Structure 1
């Protein structure tokens, strides 16, 4: 069994964005090398397609309705047991670097939350680096892209190292003029050596280098990319030709058969763009900023995809540097490496971009790679979930079992054919429009989504015939018996909980 654990998490990365998961264009040699010697979980999902709920579920092993962080803008309870607490009880040294998102970025000064920008204006932030949710120490980055320079350890470091560099993240200082139809796509002028991905990697390497080999450690390395805006620095912004990236998967007029809020929201949208929101938030907006791509040219959308691939390759390069440090420190043989993401990105599929209430596989399906002692190499094709990771680590390392909503898939680590879950539930708690609250049941063959607050909406996809989820069968009479069976199962096993969760403290 491993002595150490490194959990690497990206933000908003699709399962199909790696060479080892079948992407024909993106270059990810270091992650692919991990995959070659480890387990690649090809059917791994998150039960929540929004950042904070998904991250909190992975660490707690609980659905958002049970851990309380049901939507961005809510704080994870400080007394909730997490995998970090399990490991501390087993004498692990725990450290985290990068984006946590356990607390609202915009929480007010009165809350004194280190995961918020306001905290870093308080006297108590001076010299603070933990403890934090079971981490002994942390190096915190808050937000992504243009919002990553406001608070946290990275913002402090950047201001001390290069006082004027924060402005280089802004789109008006881009290396090239932006396209006029998509303000989230630009080539960032921040030098790679000052970029937050590099800073995260350097802090993680320093931690590995300085470890006492007698004490096991848990290291969380969390990159904010490839979350939108689509703005990598050079050379990563020029790594992929937009003409070479795969086109988004969509069927003509497919959204007309989907819940009406998808198109209605796009037609009614008159508020700020996401970049404007980051710089001056204002009133609450629905999480994810999902919208159709009808306002964007094919050139701009392809550039967004190419920049996403560039961000993925930059992270891959960073992971290679971290793995090299692990080898140099003589710790590689005793360390379990886990690579995953909190949720995915629509990236043009279905004629949509970013994320939102509808739980498409583009959002719920995320990468999971585990490599280390006792893990048999190869693909796993049974369903696994973020909900299961805490229980799995408890079993794998031999920790005292703690109750969770998940199921350990530890047998799959050594036996590729071991039995595992055959289905999963998912749930979305909205921030502004309560009728978009939804629940999902996914099996190997089907995905059904219901909207308890609006029975006129629903989604049903036959995944064997329609793996891309383009043909909504929810109101087709020939599937009414199957649909009703699924609905009754959800009512029994995962009843609606639209009002669950803690109080909203901020809009983000």
Structure 2
């Protein structure tokens, strides 16, 4: 049986890798993995928010069906998942890092290991699983300053280096961050204590003691998610002056839904870092903000730090791949590298993420290398929705009935084009009218807002691949718009009320 190692990052754009054409990126290990595997140029997530995307990848179900439609909702523990399929097939299953299947701020009475409060309970002392189909886990919760409050990593750090958690804070940064962007700083936490290093160490430890039984190892890094605060030496790896300018056109947001400009008011009331420390009232997911109040220098510092975080992850990936090779497991191990969603990074004059499903948010990396995979690029469209069915088919596991469809044929045949269209859906936390649905084809991206007819997005990707000219209300494209809407609603009828009940802010 083929082993599986799935490596996931958080908030990483597809174009952040050297193998995807980024000449500035320093990702030699992921690039080498792509060189011996299938590199998917048009892989998308249906949900540009952490928990819904992760749950969809593992379940093969749209968020409206698995129930985790927004951060703050818990995935039902009885939900069938890829990890459950593999466990039932005789795999030893282990997960390391960020899962985010349950709300981080769920109260202790819910007894959810993915929440900080669980780790104050006596039962957490020796807990290692089982957890959503994983026999054992090493859990990390959150990212940056939020990663030291609960989970196995936070407990390890407190025991290994008492007081070191404070080194993540911006107040203790190696150098002060910019005045106009408080979530950009050089973290003072030493590299050997950083959570990315801890995740890599735990993954390598598992590989060492996995034995002869087939295994599924899930390795989940919480970076390059904002705040933009890598440790040394990664915070200094890239010169901000060498970073690319964001892809933005003057006044392009004037033709977009008006909420895109509203996030600045929330950001002015409480910054993201302050919100992490003291959440207060719920805010819309993604913390979308325009770059109007951010200097070009500060924005490029954030981009440089993002590149640094990606390079730090790449180094961890290299260590894992080296350990697989040293254990003589390469020929028997399928390696999957992906991310849950992307980041705007200044494109369109916006930063972070939010309701609008720009390509920078939906298009994520996907590399698959190992037994039965023909090396080479793949240009066809694929989705997280289809990964469970795809991996089961490629591994010869029993077929499962899900919303997804297998693209296993693409792993063998680089010329296979996969599905003709991809569906996406956004379920908001606080502003109901931002609920939206998307149909993405090779030529068009159409997004409707069923609760607000004054909003809509439509882009001609052949002539406007950067999604800068919104044609939704252009009379010359009315017939095309109606045809795409009909196609979207037939495949995905509006369901703004779908999903489980929120039990926490996030």
Measured in 2, the distance between the counterparts of 1:473 and 1:91 equals 51
Matches within 5 A, 1:214-229: 215-229=213-227
Mapped to 2, the partners of 1:418 and 1:14 lie a distance apart of: 24
Residues 431-450 of structure 1: pairs in structure 2 closer than 5 A: 431-450=429-448
Q: Distance in 2 between matches of 1:396 and 1:264?
A: 45
1:225-264 equivalent positions in 2, closer than 5 A? 225-264=223-262
The corresponding residue for 1:75 is: 74
1:102 aligns with 2:101: yes
The 2-side partners of 1:295 and 1:122 are apart by 43
**Alpha-carbon offset, residue 374 of structure 1:** 1.1
* CA–CA separation in structure 2 for the residues paired with 1:60 and 1:356: 23
Q: Give the match for residue 159 of structure 1.
A: 158
Deviates more, 1:413-422 or 1:25-34: 413-422
Segments of 5+ residues of structure 1 without an aligned counterpart are none
The size of the alignment, in residue pairs, is: 506
Per-residue deviation at 1:491? 2.0
Q: Does the 8 Å contact 2:381/2:417 carry over to 1?
A: no
Partner Cα separation in structure 2 for residue 99 and residue 114 of structure 1? 11
Give deviations 1:444-501, integer Å, cap 9, x for gaps.
0000000000010000000010001000000000100110111112222210000000
Aligned counterpart, 1:423: 421
Alpha-carbon deviations, 1:12-57, whole Å to 9, x = none? 0000000000111010000000000000000000000000000000
Aligned to 2:283: 285
Identify unmatched segments of 5+ residues in structure 2: none
SS of alignment partner, residue 262 of structure 2: helix
Query: What CA distance in whole angstroms lies between the structure 2 residues aligned with 1:333 and 1:159?
Result: 39
TM-score by length of 2: 0.99
Counterpart Cα distance in 1 of 2:176 and 2:395: 51
Matched-pair contact (CA < 8 Å) for 2:263–2:287: no
Alpha-carbon distance in 2 for matches of 1:23, 1:295? 27
Could you say which residue in structure 2 is the equivalent of 1:275? Answer: 273
Candidates 328, 337, 340, aligned match of 1:339:
337
User: Are residues 1:495 and 2:489 paired?
Assistant: no
Deviation at 1:268, TM superposition (A): 5.9
Aligned: 1:134 with 2:122: no
- Matched residue SS, 1:134: coil
* 1:211 shift after superposition: 1.1
The corresponding residue for 1:43 is: 42
Following superposition, the deviation at residue 271 of structure 1 comes to 2.4
Partner Cα separation in structure 1 for residue 391 and residue 265 of structure 2: 46
How far, CA to CA, are the matches of 1:288 and 1:440 in structure 2?
18
CA distance in 2, matches of 1:475, 1:395: 42
What is the aligned-residue RMSD (CA, Å)? Answer: 0.8
Task: Measure, in 2, the Cα distance between the counterparts of 1:298 and 1:482.
Answer: 38
Give the Å deviation of 1:266: 2.3
Deviation at 1:263, TM superposition (A): 1.2
Once the two structures are superposed, what CA deviation does each residue of 1:221-275 show, in whole Å capped at 9, x if it has no partner? 0000000000000000000000111110000000000001111332465421110
- Give the match's secondary structure for 1:470: coil
- 2:218 is paired with a residue whose SS is strand
1:362 & 1:268 partners in 2: Cα distance?
23
